[in-house]
Amino acid sequence: MAYNTIVYEKSEGIGTITLNRPKSMNALSSEVFCEVAEVLDMISADPDVRVVILTGSEKFFAAGADITEIRNISNATEAHAFLKKARAVFNGLEDLEKPVIAAVSGFALGGGCELILACDIRICSENAVFGQPEIKIGVIPGGGGTQRLPRTIGVTKAKELLYTGDTMNAAEALRVGLVSKVVPVGKVLEEARTIAGKIARQPGVTLRVTKDVVNTGLNLDIKSALAYEARCFEMLFDTEDQKEGMAAFVEKRKPNFKDR
């Protein structure tokens, strides 16, 4: 299916969503959000897709929300309508049962930074730049920046970025834990595919449970989270893949997972 603002490709169990608005630095418009949401629904229902990569171009992942669109928003009701589309994508990425890797090159600002914060794994190239500069135009992040950023890099550093609107380079992003790896420019998609390939070979049920346990546990107190982890651990002993995985380990062979 052809889209106006994104490109979607599927190969070897990996679904790749590429933001594709080069004339506007991949600015996030209502159309972008609607098209990404549509693809996420399709991926969710596609058993052939086991891992998702979200990426942009070499110079910009996404430079933020489309200011030419949102500057025409005149009241809170209209702002709510725009934000509802955006939040459907941010929450959709976070809630998708399949792991999502953000492969970032160039600018990931504002909504672009919020977009990667909703992903499970974030890697970037050496030219990546991150930030939440919304305060400079009189608003706050509305797609999770004030909540996911502190939970990812710590409250103090997040407040510095949110209060000043300053940006952060790739080295600093790695140091504070926003990304897990920095690679040379032009290599980020290759690295993302390598990681995605490793993930795609894992048992599907266990992958889904792992993502759910981590995300759910982050919103619970530690004792409740540990109890939830234990219940999910126990549940996996009812799956065929658990039995196959342990048998393959003992027999020193590669497992043949069936995702059940």
The residues annotated with a catalytic role in the active site are: 114, 134
The string of DSSP codes covering 204-225 is HHHHHHHHHHHHHHTTS-HHHH
Residues 6 or more apart in contact with residue 205 via CB below 8 angstroms: 236, 239, 241, 259, 260
Q: Which phi and psi angles does 7 have, rounded to 5°?
A: -125, 130
Q: Which two tokens stand for residue 251?
A: 């027999």
User: Measuring CA to CA, which residue among 62, 64, 148, 76 is closest to residue 106?
Assistant: 62
Asked if residues 53 and 103 have their Cβ atoms less than 8 Å apart, the reply is yes
